[in-house]
Structure 1
């Protein structure tokens, strides 16, 4: 096989997925912040909250459109660039994607128009319901996507069918309530809520620094501070739940994140700092927090966290058992009624995927040498320094956001909206939650390599029959297209922020709309 095709296919999907994920977190978080703001408007009947909701809804709409456009492109790649992957696991993977399109996406698309154009046609409560349905649709969309992705990380509720030679669903309930998918969903949406909170707080701080639209800015900052504090705490707590899920389902990813080469006596310590080396297969200059990793990953003082070397030995054993399953499967292809081969396959079917790792080195895994088997076992180890540092930067940002929002909440409750160093900081850190989210996404996907489906299908076997030239052409095309869309998105967002909110002009301020509803004036300071 041509590994250049594999790596370029991975690069293209990574670029499109990471670009799409620039829009997803803001959509997830801003949608529910709109619900909060509009709920305050419905409860208080104060016109300024209607103005606030409509202003942030305009920014939500710009982001929403780009998110939909880039998401569709990414889904098409499963057919164009990952054809064998789609054939092999499409029975399972396709179901959540189809439900996402039929239920969540249509739910969003149906109500988003009513949200933007129904302000003067619906009652206050009816419009609030519409806004809630948009937020629900956005988050349901994320749920079904993460159910699909969670299955890739922990392929439950499915089995290999020797008649069709592909994976098929046996228990959709298990797929739906996959513990890895559930942990990923709550962690991802909480990160989206943090992203939206930082965005709203940062834009509000920018207005306050310039003395513009201060009534909107102060109220928006108060909502963002409270919502952001709750969300940032949720991210850290639910990140702990994700670590617990790794202990049971992705032991190698957890060991790589911690650069834990050897199994330690329970409870293992958490490495705060170290310099891991793939060449030397050790971590130098370690600084550890005693017992912390054992408590986080096993919820006990006696649970063991397995090290990389021991996991490699376990992988080698599974590869050898997988070769037996592969041999039995080849015999079943010749004679489907071979009962001996079927019994042998059923005994070792769980390890079939590990034998497929050998196809990177030999066409027939049954001919692999001991050295090739050992090499394939070490292929199970992702790039340890990359996963190690990605996690620490991401976790560090997570704890930073807790402190930042706690301070923002204190200032907001004390009505201290003139602390200029804090306002400047709020503007400067706007990009940070996007950086943390992208780090988290790369960590989740890069950390499970070499698997497209953990323990089932190696990534290098899932590609389509494409050429290097075709892949470079599409990569360049997508880069240019998405670069242009990024410029348009940023210009539209900045233009909307500079223009600020619009309210019906009145003679007495922000309280009552003009009789015609057509006049507009800048929102007053208070």
Structure 2
């Protein structure tokens, strides 16, 4: 039988390290392309202030980049240490994008990041700009390949189970590469990173303006952040809608859990704005619905249905019963690889094998499962509905707040009213919000996939390594202490850099190099 304590602690460890790592990734993604924009203005205008702006934000990018790399390496090792059977079972597919990410994307950014930081006086401006662009491209390509791997876990296309090797194997790598779930996740995640970077730059610029420091620098940075952030925040909402559309066909249970939709409603279904999911009575109390919206968003039609949790549980129960027969056929193949009848029986039900494996949580041999255990396994396919329901709504609410924030910033910058006090205070207070939304987005994505490590293929509890509870607690405590120390270092370095300001090392910290009054110039190129 499976030791569920080991599974839960392995999940906890991976969740903690993943959420911590994702504090750095989106800021890296967004700042990289903001540096490209700022340096492009410098190359076009050759004004020293834009070089100073690029180098200052580049310093903060570098601090964040180092922490992102360090925490990302730890996560990849966990697949072998904590999830060894998962790595064995699906490594043929899952390992390929990770390998390509290391060879193509990580080496690209790692090769050119040194030139970006130390090549300012050694490379021509246009050449240095190209180097900065390559670093930005590398960071975003890294995200692409990681999300292709994760997207396959959400929607395992282009692969099949081989009963002779007892592993999942690639059948169509192009299908894995162009997986609609992976593509939707990539553009949505990257756009969220751009929003985080824009809020980061906007908030720090607002802080300088509130303190009356480095005004020329702050106004220019604020203008770039306002335009970049407005475009990015609008993209997040539009591309997030596309991610929701991808769930309709590929992850119906996740979509139903997000909406706490227990029964299938007549098309087009209404969107629940707020409510209290009731897990006991299988209903949502005090719900306020917006008619037709969910059906229109999820199906792009007036007659497409969004299936509810209870009908999906019934479907899962049917598939589990079919999976029991697939498991039986597989055991017969293992006993006699030449058994043609067993192979024929397996081919008929191979797509339900993963559902049959869900029974391993309740009984050692799925073929011996009782009707009660089948029903319990079917209900185990339902993720944590309250967590999904509220995480999504808080995330979406912050997304719309970001649109309002950047629209206001864009208008104020256009009117040259950068020093509007109430907005500057709001911009500083808003700095943590997009990070909260991004973390909640990962919770929706990963909790919503449960109980599957790979949707419909491998239950999470079967993927864990043969570790002990003390071993896992030891590593969890160790990672918590180490990551806590790294967080102190990261925040300390960022605050120290901000305190020193963009003109540290220029003698006069209150004036733009090359200009006697750069700090009071308007925020124009």
TM-score, structure 2 as length reference: 0.97
Distance 1:2 1:352 in 2: 21
1:525 aligns with 2:520: yes
Which secondary structure state, in structure 1, belongs to the residue aligned with residue 181 of structure 2?
helix
| Cα deviation code 1:330-369 (max 9, x no counterpart) | 0000111111110110110000000000000001100001
Alignment of 1:253-264 (within 5 A): 253-264=254-265
Which residue of structure 2 aligns with residue 252 of structure 1? 253
Distance 2:177 2:100 in 1: 11
Deviation at 1:286, TM superposition (A): 1.3
Q: Deviations over 1:69-113 (max 9, x none)?
A: 000001100000000000000000000000000110000100000
Contact 1:501 1:523 in 2 (8 A): no
Question: Deviation of residue 279 (structure 1)?
Answer: 1.4
1:342 aligns with 2:339: no
Q: What is the alpha-carbon distance in structure 2 between the residues aligned to residue 267 and residue 524 of structure 1?
A: 56
Match of 1:43 in 2: 44
The residue matched to 1:284 in structure 2 has which SS?
strand
Find the aligned partners of 1:510 and 1:254 in 2 and give their Cα distance.
Answer: 52
Is 2:185 aligned against 1:190? Answer: no
Partner of 2:208: 207
Correspondence for 2:292: 291
Task: Give the distance between the partners of 1:318 and 1:508, measured in 2 at CA.
Answer: 69
Report the equivalent of 2:240.
239
Following TM superposition, by how much is the alpha carbon of 1:163 offset from its aligned partner in structure 2, in angstroms?
1.2
**CA-CA distance at 1:522 after TM superposition:** 11
**Residue deviations 1:368-405 (CA, integer Å, cap 9, x gap):** 01110011000010111110000000000000100110
Shift of 1:507: 13
| Residue 481 of structure 1: how far off its partner (Å) | 0.2
Three-state SS of the structure 2 residue aligned to 1:283 is strand
| C-alpha distance in structure 1 between counterparts of 2:155 and 2:233, whole Å | 26
The equivalent of 2:319 in structure 1 is 318
Cα-to-partner distance string for 1:153-177 (whole Å, 9 max, x where unaligned): 0000000011110001110000000
Counterpart of 2:520 in 1: which secondary structure? coil
Partner of 2:304: 303
Give the drift of 1:228: 0.3
Counterpart position of 1:516: none
Task: Work out whether residues 278 and 383 of structure 1, in 8 Å CA contact, stay in contact via their aligned partners in 2.
Answer: no
Q: 1:310 Cα deviation (Å)?
A: 0.4
Q: Displacement of 1:277 after TM fit?
A: 1.2
The residue aligned with 1:71 is 72
Distance in 1 between residues matched to 2:285 and 2:381, nearest whole Å: 22
Partner of 1:277: 278
Q: Distance in 1 between matches of 2:373 and 2:49?
A: 69
Gaps of 5+ in 1: 514-520
Give the structure 2 partner of residue 510 of structure 1. Answer: 512
In 1, distance between residues paired with 2:488 and 2:118?
Answer: 26
The corresponding residue for 2:494 is 493
Once residues 97 and 298 of structure 1 are traced to their aligned partners in structure 2, the CA distance between those partners, rounded to angstroms, is: 32
The alpha carbon displacement at 1:278 in A equals 1.1
Q: Quote the Cα distance in structure 2 between the aligned partners of 1:501 and 1:168.
A: 52
Matched-pair contact (CA < 8 Å) for 1:209–1:423: yes
| d(CA) in 1 for partners of 2:520, 2:338 | 82
Query: SS at 1:274's partner residue?
Result: strand
Residues 177-199 of structure 1, C-alpha deviations (whole Å, 9 max, x = no match): 00000000000000000000000
- Asked if the contact 1:277–1:283 (Cα under 8 Å) also holds between the matched residues in 2, the reply is yes
- Once the two structures are superposed, the pairs formed by residues 472-483 of structure 1 within 5 Å of their partners are 472-483=473-484
2:245 counterpart SS class: helix
Q: Are the equivalent residues in 2 in contact too, given 1:27–1:138 (CA < 8 A)? A: yes
Q: Give RMSD over aligned pairs.
A: 1.4
- Over 3 Å counting, the alpha-carbon distance change for 1:354 and 1:507 in structure 2 is closer
For structure 2, list consecutive stretches of 5 or more residues without a partner in the other structure.
none
Matched ranges for 1:5-20 at <5 A: 5-20=6-21
In structure 2, what is the equivalent of residue 98 of structure 1? 99
SS at match of 2:43: helix
> For 1:473-522, what per-residue CA distance to the aligned partner results, in whole angstroms no more than 9, with x for missing partners?
00000000000000000000000001011265699963649xxxxxxx99
* DSSP-derived class of the 1:452 partner: strand
Matched, 1:143 2:144: yes
Q: For the residues of structure 2 that align with 1:57 and 1:208, how far apart are their CA atoms?
A: 20
Distance in 1 between the 2:72 and 2:518 partners?
36
Q: How does 1:329-478 map to 2 (within 5 A)?
A: 329-478=330-479
After the TM superposition, list the runs of 4 or more consecutive aligned residues in structure 1 that deviate by more than 6 angstroms. none
Structure 2 Cα separation of the partners of residues 477 and 243 of structure 1:
37
The 2-side partners of 1:268 and 1:113 are apart by 53
Residues 124-159 of structure 1, C-alpha deviations (whole Å, 9 max, x = no match): 000000000000000000000000000000000000
Shift of 1:523: 6.5
Mapped to 2, the partners of 1:338 and 1:383 lie a distance apart of 42
Q: Counterparts of 1:454 and 1:525 in 2: how far apart (Å)?
A: 57
CA distance in 2, matches of 1:157, 1:491: 46
SS of the equivalent of 2:377 reads: helix
**Given the superposition, is the C-alpha separation of residues 504 and 380 from structure 1 closer, same or farther in structure 2, using an over 3 Å criterion?**
same
SS at match of 1:524: helix
Partners of 1:129 and 1:487 in 2: CA distance:
33
